[in-house]
Amino acid sequence: MDLQLSGRVAVVTGASKGIGLAVAGTLLAEGMRVVAASRGRSAGLDALAGGSLVHVPVDLMDPEAPGRVVARAVEEFGGVDVLVNNAGGPPPGVKLPRFSFMAPTDDDWREMFEFNLFSAVRAIRAAIPQMLRRGGGAIVNISSGSARQPAPMNVDYGAAKAGMNNLTKALSEEFGPQGVRVNTVSPGPVLTAWWTEEGGAADIIAGQAGTDRESVLKSVAPEMMGLTTGRLVDPQEIADVVALLASPRSGSTTGAEFVVDGGFLKAV
The catalytic residues are 157
Calpha distance 220→233 (Å, rounded): 14
**Is the Cα torsion angle 146, 100, 163, 106 positive or negative in sign?**
negative
**Within 13 A of 27's CA, how many CA atoms are on the CB side?**
33
CA-to-CA dists, residue 62 to 14, 93, 122, 141, 237, angstroms: 14, 15, 10, 19, 30
Residues across the chain: 268
Q: What is the largest CA-CA distance in the chain?
A: 56
Calpha distance 182→175 (Å, rounded): 8
Calpha distance 172→119 (Å, rounded): 18
CA-to-CA dists, residue 251 to 7, 175, 183, angstroms: 18, 13, 11
How does DSSP classify residue 231?
S
